[in-house]
Amino acid sequence: MKEFISLVRRDLRLARREGGAITTALGFYLIVVAILPLGLGPDLNLLSRIAPGVLWVALLLAALLSADRIFHNDLEDGSLEVIALGPLPLELVVAAKSLAHWISIGIPLAIAAPVLALLLNLPGDAFWVLFLTMMTGTPALSFLGAIGAALTLGLRRGGQLLSLLILPLYVPVLIFGVAAMNAVITGPAPFLSSYLILLALTLATLVLAPIAAAAALRLNLQ
């Protein structure tokens, strides 16, 4: 457990020193959400109806921008092979690096979402649902992104291929995240059922994604 925590801290320190990934993700998130009202016009009712979907889609794309960095930088400086040969199982290595990605990217995006929701006239009583669903769903995005990052490790233009591989896996998280928000905004579907499915998807991803990503890493490191 000590090695796991040390690896998470290491990745968080590197993310803080670089700073470019979170800046790019937040900047992209802001631009997408800010430009949309300009294209759709001043219809506040329309913006309120589409706000959940817009905020979730923009968050998915913003998180995807930095997914390839989960392993790429370590591969370039040779530290990935050293870590893979260390005492920590490769599955836990993947879990630690995915957790660090979520803390450095997913949490700031989830915190920024309610602020950006003001631009889309989201009802005030839906802000807590927006934050809750995004805090629940964003770990799945980071762990699924680790699968794509492991599969495309070392490939030229791997970022483009990663998007094609991972975006279909993001769809269930998107569907139930938006459904939970719509249940509060428009109804009549119950909030709890959609939210529990979203939570189950995240928990399943936390278990299965490190196994799949570790298998892909072993193939690429051979």
- For all residues of the chain together, what is the average pLDDT? 86
The pLDDT value recorded for residue 38 is: 81
Residue 89 has pLDDT above 70, yes or no: yes
Instruction: Considering only CA atoms, give the Rg of the chain.
Output: 18
- Predicted confidence band of residue 156 (pLDDT cuts 50, 70, 90): low
What pLDDT digit, counting tens, does each position of 177-212 carry? 999 888 888 766 688 888 999 999 999 999 999 999
Q: Tell me the domain boundaries of the chain.
A: 2-221
**Sole residue written with tokens 């762990």:** 143
Question: Token pair for residue 129?
Answer: 């649902």
For 61: left if phi > 0, alpha if psi spans -120 to 50, otherwise beta; the answer is alpha
pTM exceeds 0.85, yes or no: yes
Q: What is the 3-state secondary structure (H, E, C) of 78-129?
A: CHHHHHHCCCCCHHHHHHHHHHHHHHHHHHHHHHHHHHHHHHHCCCHHHHHH
Residue 151 has pLDDT above 80, yes or no: yes
Question: Token pair for residue 112?
Answer: 């920024």
Give me the mean pLDDT over the 137-146 stretch: 93
Residue pair 33/56 in contact (Cβ under 8 Å)? The answer is no
What pLDDT digit, counting tens, does each position of 22-49 carry? 888 888 899 988 888 787 777 778 888 8
